[in-house]
């Protein structure tokens, strides 16, 4: 998925999408709150939850978004009990002392508390079993490869769990969750059975939160590679290797949907990663596929997956910069019946938005020109800062500059195992359009 050094994202695309939003909000709030949080024990009777003696965090007046959103920033906090440890459980109360929720507290980052529950319940082994059980039950229809836990969207803020057959990849992005890795893994095994657990923490998040990122097997080692099925396709996943936790699971539904348009067409898969879109398209009857990628690990994975699916003879993998290759193909007058653009997050902060939109427009302009009449374009952005309206306007401008009329076949988003909460817009980061050249 690499474009060049200037546009290469750090960490997983979902965590980059969440982190890039946090970075901006934290920066704004930290300017206002430059001092340490005021610390004191709540007065007697202030915490009206039946949980007397438990550390408490009191919100400022007018800072009560935590009733529906799990993030609490330092600027939202009036005071916090001196009994709470970094990474420990804290009860959150409103200015009048009424219970709001309970979560994990860390005084180090600007985003100092993430709520796990709005019910007055203990956060213990039983809590983890209930939450993980509910999350896994919602993915029961995805037995091979699936995101079992998607952080805030599953009310488990700071935890991501992906399953690849006999392996679960566990990623913690907060100190509180990192301190509970073993407990979380135990609850997960009670939920889905004995499974090898690989830890793949994001180093950037670990630095921000102040913990040592784990990278390796939690206890008993499992297989270093796994073959998973996704509809008609099969993919080789190298546990702990490549981008993300091993595979872009957020595009699983889109890969299969886009493939329905591939029969009898030449396909161009740009930012191909391990050739997921190309494999599905070729299995669905595409005549040929060109995969454009610059990451060496991803290129090796693409070659493996094309061979694994028996479609390598109709595919070509090109080790090159995507921008350069799109320009070259445009100059050469190449035409394709299906083009896929799945770039990394160009905008990792609001300050980068203008430049990111220029980059997105450039690749979309070239891709639109490469479409044959009646051809289809599946184009995506996984940057939270690029809104749906901005993304659509950018593609519209690209089509106008190319002098091409496009019909919207469908809006596209992340797979169903990456659920979205309406009150937590940061849980939705992947947006796309499926378009047809008229």
378: left (phi over 0), alpha (psi -120 to 50) or beta: beta
Residue 36: the pLDDT is 44
What are the extents of the domains in the chain?
36-117, 125-217, 234-437
DSSP per residue over 199-241, as a string? EE--HHHHHHHT-PPPEEESSS---SEEEEEETTEEEEEETT-
Answer whether 56's CB lies under 8 Å from 42's CB: yes
Residue 100: the pLDDT is 97
Q: Give the separation between CA 146 and CA 141, rounded to whole angstroms.
A: 9
Answer whether 41's CB lies under 8 Å from 81's CB: yes
Q: pLDDT by residue for the chain (438 residues), tens digit each?
A: 333 333 333 345 555 555 544 544 444 343 333 334 554 444 433 444 435 568 999 999 999 888 999 999 999 999 999 889 999 999 999 999 999 999 999 999 999 999 999 999 999 999 999 999 999 999 998 888 999 999 999 999 999 999 999 999 999 999 999 999 999 999 999 999 999 999 999 999 999 999 999 999 999 999 999 999 999 999 999 998 766 677 899 999 999 999 999 999 999 999 999 999 999 999 999 999 999 999 999 999 999 999 999 999 999 999 999 999 999 999 999 999 999 999 988 766 667 788 889 999 999 999 999 999 999 999 999 988 889 999 999 999 999 999 999 999 999 999 999 999 999 999 999 999 999 999
Answer whether 3's CB lies under 8 Å from 243's CB: no
Q: Which residues are catalytic?
A: 382
Tokens of 350: 């609001």
422 Cβ partners below 8 Å, 6+ apart?
none
Paired strand residues for 397: none
Specify burial of residue 160 (Cβ count, 10 A radius: 0-12, 13-18, 19+). Answer: buried
- Name the 3-class secondary structure at 242: coil
Paired strand residues for 378: 340, 434
Residue 19: the pLDDT is 52
Q: How big is the chain by its Cα radius of gyration, in Å? A: 23
DSSP per residue over 256-318, as a string? HHHHTT-TT-EEEEES-TTTHHHHHHHHTT-SEEEEEE--HHHHHHHHHHHHHTT-GGGEEEE
Q: Give the separation between CA 104 and CA 214, rounded to whole angstroms.
A: 19
Residue 353: the pLDDT is 81
Answer whether 242's CB lies under 8 Å from 300's CB: no
Residue 240: the pLDDT is 84
Residue 54: the pLDDT is 80
CATH class belonging to 125-217 = alpha beta
Domain 36-117: give its CATH code: 2.30.130.10
CATH fold of 234-437 reads: Rossmann fold (3.40.50)
Residue 31: the pLDDT is 37
Q: Give the separation between CA 426 and CA 14, rounded to whole angstroms.
A: 9
Query: Which DSSP letter does residue 421 get?
Result: B
Residue 48: the pLDDT is 45
Q: How many CB atoms lie within 10 A of CB 97?
A: 15
273: left (phi over 0), alpha (psi -120 to 50) or beta: left
Tokens of 72: 């609490």
Tokens of 225: 């590679």
Q: Which residues of 336-373 are buried (b: 16+ CB within 10 A; e: fewer)?
A: bbbbbbbbbbbbbebebbeebbebbbebbbbbbbbbee
């Amino acid at each position: 998925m690499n474009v060049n050094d200037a546009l290469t994202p750090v960490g997983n695309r979902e965590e980059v999408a969440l982190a890039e939003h946090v970075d901006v909000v934290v920066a704004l709030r930290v300017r206002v709150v430059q001092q340490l949080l005021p610390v004191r024990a709540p007065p007697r009777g202030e915490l009206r939850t039946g949980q007397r003696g438990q550390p408490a965090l009191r919100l400022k007046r007018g800072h009560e978004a935590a009733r529906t959103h799990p993030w609490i920033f330092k600027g939202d906090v009036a005071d916090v009990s001196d009994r709470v440890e970094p990474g420990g459980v804290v009860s959150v109360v409103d200015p009048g002392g009424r219970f709001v929720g309970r979560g994990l507290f860390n005084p180090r980052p600007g985003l100092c508390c993430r709520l796990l529950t709005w019910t007055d319940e203990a956060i213990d082994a039983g809590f983890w079993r209930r939450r993980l059980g509910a999350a896994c039950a919602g993915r029961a229809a995805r037995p091979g490869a699936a995101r079992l836990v998607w952080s805030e969207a599953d009310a488990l803020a700071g935890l991501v769990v992906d399953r690849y057959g006999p392996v679960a990849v566990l990623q913690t992005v907060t100190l509180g969750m990192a301190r509970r890795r073993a407990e979380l893994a135990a609850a997960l095994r009670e939920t889905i059975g004995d499974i090898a657990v690989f830890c793949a923490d994001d180093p950037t998040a670990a630095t921000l939160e102040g913990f040592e990122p784990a990278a390796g097997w939690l206890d008993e080692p499992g297989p270093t590679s796994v073959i998973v099925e996704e509809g008609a396709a099969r993919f080789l996943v190298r546990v702990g290797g490549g981008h993300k936790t091993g595979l872009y699971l957020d595009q699983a539904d889109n890969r299969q949907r886009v493939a329905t348009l591939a029969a009898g067409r030449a396909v161009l898969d740009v930012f191909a990663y391990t050739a997921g879109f190309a494999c599905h398209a070729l299995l669905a009857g595409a005549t040929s596929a060109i995969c454009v990628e610059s990451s060496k690990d991803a290129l090796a994975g693409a070659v493996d997956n094309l061979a694994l699916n028996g479609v390598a003879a109709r595919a070509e993998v090109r080790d090159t910069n995507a921008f350069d290759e799109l320009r070259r193909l445009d100059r050469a007058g190449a035409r394709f019946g299906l083009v896929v653009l799945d770039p990394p997050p160009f905008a990792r902060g609001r300050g980068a938005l203008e430049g990111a939109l220029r980059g997105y427009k450039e690749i979309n302009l070239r891709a639109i020109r490469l479409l044959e009449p009646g051809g289809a374009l599946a184009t995506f952005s996984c940057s939270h800062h690029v809104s749906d309206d901005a993304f659509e306007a950018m593609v519209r401008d690209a089509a106008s500059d190319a002098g091409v009329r496009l019909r919207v076949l469908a809006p596209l988003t992340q797979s169903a195992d990456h659920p979205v909460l309406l009150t937590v817009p940061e849980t939705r980061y992947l947006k796309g359009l499926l378009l047809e050249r008229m």
